[in-house]
Amino acid sequence: MEDHLIVEHLVKVYERGKVLALNDISFRVPKGQFLVLIGLSGSGKSTLLRCINRLVEPTSGRVIFDGVDITRLHHRALRLVRRRIGMIFQQFNLVKRATVLQNVLSGRLGYVPTWRSLMGRFSREDLERAKRALERVGLLDKMYVRADQLSGGQQQRVGIARALMQEPELLLADEPVSALDPATSHSVLKYIEEINRDDGVTVLCSLHFLSLARRYGQRVIALKAGKIVFDGPPSEIDDERFKEIYGEEAEQVEVR
Amino acid sequence: MARKPNRSRSVEPAISAKAIITSFFLDWLFWGYFAYVVVYLLNYYWYTVYVDWYGKLVLPAWAWPVAVGGTFELAALCHALGHSLGVKALGLRWERTGPRVKLLHLLGLNGALLLGAGAFALVYFGACRIHGLPPALGREAAMGLGAVLGLVVVLGAMVFFSRAVPGLVLAPLPSPDKWTAPPPRWYRTLWGLMALGLFLLIMILGWHVTDASLKRLGNMVKTAYLWKALATPDFQHLLHPDPWLNQSILQGLIQSIFMALLATVFGAAFAFPLSFLGARNIMNFNPLARATYYFTRGVFNVFRSVESMLWATIFAIWIGWGPFAGTMALFIHTIAALGKLYSEQVEHIDPGPVEAVTATGASRLEVVRYAVIPQIVPSCLALTFYRWDINVRMSTVIGLVGGGGIGRVLFYYKQNTMWHQVGAVILTIALVVWALDYISGRVREGMV
């Protein structure tokens, strides 16, 4: 299958702390794959995801998305690529004082001309699209509720609806369920899985729990101190591999 | 298992000797400076002759040996008693293994040693006189050298004494049981004491710089007639205009409130867009933006630090005396003050939504519109209300320099020493400010 995303020799050095966050990362993702990133906190998962849509500026290396080298793009071209890449976050990153609808509509900003969006006017189609996205994540009744009134799982679903507004080809999920309890985690991950399966969206999702990675991932990449230490199907991660990734003292914790 | 504290751990002898000597000289230095400060302060209060015009310490010939010897003595005593700042500065502490040494014994020994040192100095001096040894030295130098040698003997004996009798040994500063011992109260720590001392010094300095005087506060009786007049306000002109002013108190007050309102609303309207230019987290995408940030902040600060009284004077000349000049003064001041406050709100937003909206491919303006503004609007509104409150109070002062409003009324009465009328004005202002404060407090509560 054609490679949807190619990461080549990606390096990120945080100048301030002189930290080597990513150390020569290379991998390819075919279209429609559900790829799970695992690794300890601080192993570089978030940095890697943010280098892909350049929320974080990589130090060197290339990120090729759908044949375009993202690391070379400027301003407008970068924004045009960004709108095709949805992202959801560990802390949901909703505007808490705004309504759910406003949060979801903000996912459409890459498509609306700036002068129109500054007036706060979205087209009828966008409103319809927002309704569909909210219906899909089961939150249509919360449209005009303030975001901070929702529970954690509901907020993350608003985050997913916001990403859906972009009609993304690639979805980056930065530990989408770390702030949620196990039951809610599954409901959120099921929505992501559904988007992957039904819409054919390529998903890069970082997760803390190996059990979740096994359940949802088609392929797992494990990072340790900014380097890839494992790349393969989740079934190949045995106890020995696990200790290699998480360190000698780690124990497996199940989330069902 | 917890580690057992090793109480008998002490510093190696070689380090110990070096540490003892170094810390002793640090102590000596400390007492030297202490004595200097004491003499200096004494001079400041009683104009003794020991500090010359330029603030340099001038001592008569006899005082120098006394100062040197005295500070030396203090240092040696501190050292022998195990209370040495120098030791602490080296990161060590005294650890006592024997009984506490008696101060009296120590003083006795010290006296004996001093006598010995004096005798030694005299003998040395005598030897120099008779044999001309060493020939190159003068009289004072020979005497001084003798004294120094004597003092070294004292030091050696004291250190020996303190180590031999009460068994003081040097140990590393963090006590071995520091994990379980409660942390010392702040005023028992070295830093706490130093901070306290510094604070006291600064307060003493401030007392003198501001020319504060308790004696003159006692002159309060002189104001008795004033208080009496203020306490019996005359509300004759509350509603009926004063013919000299052509304005009643209430009219002035209403004028002031509207001045403040206009200045606040227009000031906020100008400050809000400017505040984004003065927010570091928004303006860091390229060097030009950073320059804009510093420029905007600089303008805010300059305009804010120019007192609104001065603005009122400027506008009184520019557009003539009256409420409009006052409004303009408040307006300029409000832009700068609110601009700074708004900018701080922008800087304290949650960066998460900014990241999220950026990731959707939104432009920079859209990010501000959809991720920043929704976060700051409620707190900015609250700040604006607070500013209105401040502006009403400020407008009273602005009247002094031709700003119109209630301030004009107040200062007219004050200039003419019509204290009963001043009392009435102050009372009405207090009422209005209290009411506004209450309202704006309730509104802020509802918004944040």
Q: What is the pLDDT of residues A41-81, one digit of tens each?
A: 888 888 999 999 898 888 889 999 888 888 888 888 899 99
Q: Could you tell me which residues are beta bridge partners of residue A64?
A: A6, A69
With a cut of 60, say whether residue A1 has pLDDT above it: no
Give the count of Cβ contacts less than 8 A between chain A and B: 87
| Integer Cα distance of A235 and A49 in angstroms | 23
For testing the chain B interface, which of A89, A95, A102, A104 should be mutated: the one with the most B CBs within 10 Å? Answer: A95
pLDDT exceeds cutoff 50 at B204:
yes
Virtual CA dihedral for B45, B49, B53, B56, nearest 10 degrees? Answer: -90
> CB distance from B365 to chain A under 8 Å?
yes
CA A33 to chain centre: 13
For residue B144, the surrounding DSSP H or E stretch is helix B139-164
B67 vs B31: CA distance, rounded Å: 10
What confidence tens digit (pLDDT) does each residue in A94-125 have?
Answer: 998 889 999 999 999 989 888 888 888 888 89
Q: Strand ranges (DSSP E) for B103-232?
A: 168-172
Q: How confident is the model at residue B7 (pLDDT cuts 50, 70, 90)?
A: very low
B8: confidence class by pLDDT, cuts 50, 70, 90: very low
CB proximity B377 to A under 8 Å? yes
Alpha helices in B368-417, H assignment, sequence order? 373-398, 406-415
Q: Is the pLDDT of residue A31 over 50?
A: yes
Average pLDDT, chain A: 87
Q: How far apart (Å, rounded) are the C-alpha atoms in residues B276 and B128? A: 81
Mean pLDDT of chain B: 80
Both tokens of B225, joined, read 């007639």
d(CA B289, CA B279): 10
How high is the pLDDT of residue B372?
92
Tell me the percentage of chain A whose pLDDT exceeds 90.
26
Report ipTM for this prediction: 0.90
Is B264:B388 a contact under the CB 8 Å cutoff?
yes
Q: What is the mean pLDDT of residues A194-198?
A: 90
Q: Specify the length of chain B in residues.
A: 448
Alpha carbons A23 and A13: distance in angstroms, whole number: 8
What angle in degrees, to the nearest 10, is found between the helix axes of B249-277 and B287-305? 160
β pairing state of A170-174 and A85-88:
parallel
The answer, yes or no, to whether residue B391 has pLDDT greater than 60, is yes
Q: For the residues of A222-250, what is the DSSP string, one character each?
A: EEETTEEEEEE-GGG--HHHHHHHH-TT-
pLDDT band at residue B223 under the 50/70/90 scheme: confident
- Put simply, the answer to whether A87 touches B370 (Cβ < 8 Å) is no
A81/B361 CB distance under 8 A: yes
Determine whether the interchain pair A95/B361 forms a contact, defined as Cβ–Cβ distance below 8 Å.
no
Assigned token pair, B17: 């000797």
pLDDT per residue as tens digits for the range B262-313: 999 999 999 999 999 999 888 888 889 999 999 999 999 998 888 888 888 8
Contact A108 B360 (CB under 8 A): yes
**pLDDT tens, residue by residue, B239-276:** 888 888 788 888 888 888 898 999 999 999 999 999 99
Tell me the residues of A at the B interface, defined by beta carbons under 8 Å apart.
Answer: 53, 55, 79-87, 89, 91-98, 102, 106-112, 114, 117-118, 120, 159, 162, 165-166, 172
pLDDT tens digits for B133-156?
554 556 666 666 666 777 777 777
- Nearest CB neighbour to B370, from listed A92, A109, A172: A109
Q: What is the pLDDT of residue B296?
A: 92
Q: In terms of DSSP H, where are the helices of B59-102?
A: 63-81, 85-89
Here the tokens at position B324 are: 């409009």
Q: What is the pLDDT of residue B4?
A: 41
Q: Which residues of A203-223 are buried (b: 16+ CB within 10 A; e: fewer)?
A: bbbbbbbbbbbbbbbebbbbb
Mean pLDDT confidence for B415-443:
87
| B209-230: average pLDDT | 84
Instruction: Please report which confidence band the pLDDT of residue B159 belongs to, taking 50, 70 and 90 as the band edges.
Output: low
**Which of A69, A42, A43 is CA-nearest to residue A58?**
A69
Long-range contacts of B378-384 (CB under 8 A, 24+ apart): B378/A97, B378/B447, B378/B448, B379/B345, B379/B447, B379/B448, B380/B268, B380/B272, B380/B341, B380/B342, B380/B345, B381/B447, B382/B443, B382/B444, B382/B447, B382/B448, B383/B338, B383/B341, B383/B342, B383/B345, B384/B264, B384/B268, B384/B338
| Cα Rg, chain A, nearest whole Å | 18
Beta bridge mates, A221: A37, A231
User: In the prediction, which pLDDT does B298 show?
Assistant: 92
Strand, helix or coil for residue A206:
strand
Where do the DSSP E strands lie in B141-295? 168-172
C-alpha span between A53 and A51 (Å, rounded) = 6
Q: What angle do CA A39, B355, B444 make, to 5 degrees?
A: 125
Asked whether B158 and B134 are in contact (CB, 8 A), the reply is no
Find out whether A139 and A83 touch, Cβ atoms under 8 Å: no
pLDDT surpasses 90 at A256: no
pLDDT of res. B272 = 94
Identity of residue B55: G
CB atoms within 10 A of CB B427: 16
DSSP class of residue B184?
P
Query: Could you report the per-residue pLDDT of A202-237, keeping only the tens digit for each?
Result: 999 998 888 888 888 889 998 888 888 888 888 888
The C-alpha atoms of residue B398 and residue B310 are separated, in whole angstroms, by 9
User: Is the predicted pLDDT of residue B6 greater than 50, yes or no?
Assistant: no
Mutate to test the interface with A, among B276, B285, B360, B448 (most CBs of A within 10 A): B360
Question: A110–B362: do the CB atoms touch at under 8 Å?
Answer: yes
B16, B346, B354, B447 from B379: Cα distances, Å: 61, 10, 18, 7
Structure letter (DSSP) for residue B322? S
Strand order across the A170-174 sheet: A85-88, A170-174, A202-206, A34-38, A219-224, A227-232
Nearest to A48 by CA among A82, A7, A89, A18: A7
User: Do residue B361 and residue A110 have CB atoms under 8 angstroms apart?
Assistant: yes
Q: Report the DSSP beta bridge partners of residue B247.
A: B242
Q: Is the pLDDT of residue B41 over 90?
A: no
User: Which among B359, B370, B377 is the nearest to A55, CB-wise?
Assistant: B359
Instruction: Write out chain B residues lying below 8 Å of A102, CB-based.
Output: 370, 374
The span from the first CA to the last CA of chain A, in angstroms, equals 32
Mean pLDDT on A136-162: 89
Rounded distance, CA A85 to CA A55, Å? Answer: 12
* Cα–Cα distance for residue pair B394/B399, rounded to 1 Å: 9
B239 or A133: which leads in pLDDT? A133
By the 10 Å C-beta count (0-12 exposed, 13-18 middle, 19+ buried), B69 is classed as middle
CA distance to A94, A117, A122, B267, B368, per residue, from A112 (Å)? 19, 6, 8, 32, 15
Enumerate domains of chain B plus CATH numbers.
11-209 (no CATH), 249-447 (1.10.3720.10)
Q: What is the pLDDT of residue A88?
A: 92
Between CA A156 and CA A94 the distance in angstroms is 9
- Model confidence at B1, pLDDT cuts 50, 70, 90, reads very low
Q: Which of A153, A90, A160 minimizes the C-alpha distance to A130?
A: A160
Q: What is the pLDDT of residue B331?
A: 93
* Predicted local distance difference test score (pLDDT) of residue B174: 58
The DSSP 8-state label assigned to residue B247 in this structure reads B
For residues A124 and A131, give the distance between their C-alpha atoms in angstroms, rounded to a whole number.
11
Closest CA to A250 of A226, A232, A224: A224
3-state SS, residue A69: strand
Q: What is the pLDDT of residues B56-99, one digit of tens each?
A: 666 666 677 777 778 887 887 777 777 777 777 777 777 766 66
